[in-house]
Amino acid sequence: MDQLIKDIDIITGEEAQAVDYKTTQEENTGKSKKIYIESYGCQMNFSDSEIVASIMKENGYDTTSDFEQADVVFLNTCSIREKAEQTVRNRLNHFNAVKKSKPEMTIGVLGCMAERLKDKLLEEEKIVDVVVGPDAYRDLPNLVNAAEDGRKGVNTFLSREETYADIAPVRLNSNGITAFISIMRGCDNMCSFCVVPFTRGRERSRDPHSIVAEARDLFERGYREVTLLGQNVDSYKWSPEENNKARLNKKEGEVTQVINFANLLEMVAQIDPLLRVRFSTSHPKDITDEVLYTMKKYDNICKYIHLPVQSGNSRVLEMMNRTYTREWYLDRVRAIREILGEECGISSDMIAGFCTETEAEHQDTLTLMDLVKYDFSYMFFYSERPGTLAAKKYEDDIPLDIKKQRLSEIISKQNELSLERNKLDIGKEQWILIEGTSKKSSEELKGRNSANKVVIVPSAGLKLGDYVKVKITDCTTATLFGYVLEVNPL
Ligand code: SAM
Ligand code: SF4
């Protein structure tokens, strides 16, 4: 679904249309109440909804896919661009209309908009009953009870420690094959355009043992791929000394090994060779050769890196506070190619029309794209977000029509590059993991290759979760097509 949301961005060059949210599935375990959750925005949010569902389940709620059946409706929101927030507001108006005929229904806003707007939604706009930020989900049952008793339910406390490490997420909308695991929360990077450090708080890494346990449990339940999630996975760092609870068990001065992202990746890869491992997102300033060598060492770590560049011009990158230059970025791409080869997939995020960006600087983004040859990208035009460094320091001075023009040039360039890259796969033999049916035909299944490209194959004799060796015969800008050579060799 994240893919779908981002695809919509790519196609329209705009954000969040009315369709791009994900709802809870029906799960009836005989509880007395029902909760309906709509999740917007990034994959982190979808993972958070699985934590919310788990907390609510412990407190007497089953999930429903029909909000009219729900006692509690939560919107897990996104603030990344203005339009994402507008979509949620429209949806809230819709729920409020429904609430008129069902006043006992509790409506809650969770996630980034809750954190950004806090009690404004409760006090001034009076459109919701509960407002809960991303670090306060353990408090949800209390807040819902308070709201049911006619009191205000608000908690937007941002924690330096909360990682929900002990909560087993309820897998929502799951295909039973692929799952996401949050390995850290928050972000310390302060990119000037970005609202995330303000809405999701300081960066903190989750206990690696709880991550490995979650991945192992998924594997034992039949899952065959996990994606480790964080805003900046390469800065993952955990040691008992830095973790308050673990520190209690340590003697004064005792130092334990620090687990970095390469170590964590290795720990997860070692669970079983049949468990594929992916991760997202990598920050160009932090991705190390150690991570690249760990990827090379394990066949089950997929050879794909999401490495958002945002702009191809060093002056713009400096204004964005990305802390790397065009040259640094290209050097990281060189290292990827040197260590992992040409077949490693690389994707990016790009922002068109950031404050003061000149035409020549925009051209630098296009030339960088040509140099890297991204397999695909998520592309946006700049949307000023209140409270960010850019909103405080710079004028949002590129007219909307120019932003859109530049974005459409970036999108056309990416389409050319995607096709060029996909054509290189034709004739190759690749391993894919079957994870669903093709959108277009029930006679076909889809899987993804190591580089994260979708491959469509005839469904005969295959089932979800099969590892399949395919020969690629054709492609479009977004998809590869092939036929099956071999199934589940191990
Ligand atoms: N942590 C990731 C990183 O550093 O690349 C990305 C996080 S953000 C949720 C996803 C993408 O949204 C960013 O990479 C950026 O391209 C885009 N984005 C963030 N703020 C934006 C803004 N104010 N306007 C337009 N796009 C924005
Ligand atoms: Fe936002 Fe930058 Fe953090 Fe990504 S790394 S979440 S773009 S501040």
Give the model confidence (pLDDT) of 276-295 as tens digits: 999 999 999 999 999 999 99
Q: How would residue 351 be classed by pLDDT, with cut points 50, 70 and 90? A: very high
Angle between helices 326-340 and 289-297 (to 10 degrees): 20
Q: Which of 3, 46, 349 to mutate to test the pocket of ligand 1 (most atoms within 8 A of CB)?
A: 349
Q: What pLDDT sits at residue 255?
A: 60
Residue owning tokens 């599935």: 25
Q: How would residue 18 be classed by pLDDT, with cut points 50, 70 and 90? A: very low
Q: What pLDDT sits at residue 15?
A: 30
Closest ligand to the CA of 235? 2
- Does the pLDDT of residue 257 top 80, yes or no? no
- Does the pLDDT of residue 113 top 90, yes or no? yes
Q: What pLDDT sits at residue 457?
A: 97
Closest ligand 1 atom, residue 195 Cα: 20
- Does the pLDDT of residue 137 top 70, yes or no? yes
Q: What pLDDT sits at residue 12?
A: 29
Pairing of strands 454-458, 479-487: parallel
pTM above 0.85, yes or no: yes
Contacts of residue 318, Cβ cutoff 8 Å, sequence gap at least 6: 325
Share the mean pLDDT of the chain. 90
Ligand 2 centre to CA of 363 (Å) is 23
Choice among 11-20, 334-343, 351-360, 388-397 with the minimum mean pLDDT: 11-20
- Cα distance between residue 194 and residue 464, in whole Å: 38
Ligand 1: does its nearest atom lie under 6 Å from the Cβ of 269? no
Ligand 2 centre to CA of 271 (Å) is 30
- Does the pLDDT of residue 3 top 50, yes or no? no
Ligand 1: does its nearest atom lie under 6 Å from the Cβ of 383? yes
Ligand 2 centre to CA of 7 (Å) is 20
SS3 category, 419: helix
Q: What pLDDT sits at residue 253?
A: 62
- Cα distance between residue 112 and residue 314, in whole Å: 30
Rounded mean pLDDT, 310-314: 98
Q: Which of 351, 348, 347, 349 is nearest to 390 (CA)?
A: 351
- Cα distance between residue 69 and residue 100, in whole Å: 15
Q: CA 28, 32, 36: angle at the middle one, nearest 5? A: 60
Q: CA 232, 235, 240: angle at the middle one, nearest 5? A: 130
- Does the pLDDT of residue 302 top 60, yes or no? yes
- Each residue of 361-380: pLDDT tens digit? 999 999 999 999 999 999 99
- Each residue of 31-51: pLDDT tens digit? 789 999 999 998 999 999 999
Closest ligand 2 atom, residue 281 Cα: 4
Residue owning tokens 């005929």: 101
Q: What pLDDT sits at residue 23?
A: 67
Ligand 1 centre to CA of 194 (Å) is 6
Q: Which of 394, 307, 290, 302 is nearest to 343 (CA)?
A: 302
Q: What pLDDT sits at residue 277?
A: 98
Ligand 1: does its nearest atom lie under 6 Å from the Cβ of 95? no
Closest ligand to the CA of 353? 1
- Each residue of 223-252: pLDDT tens digit? 999 999 999 999 999 987 665 444 445 566
- Cα distance between residue 278 and residue 452, in whole Å: 9
Q: Which of 280, 201, 192 is nearest to 234 (CA)?
A: 280
Contacts of residue 441, Cβ cutoff 8 Å, sequence gap at least 6: none
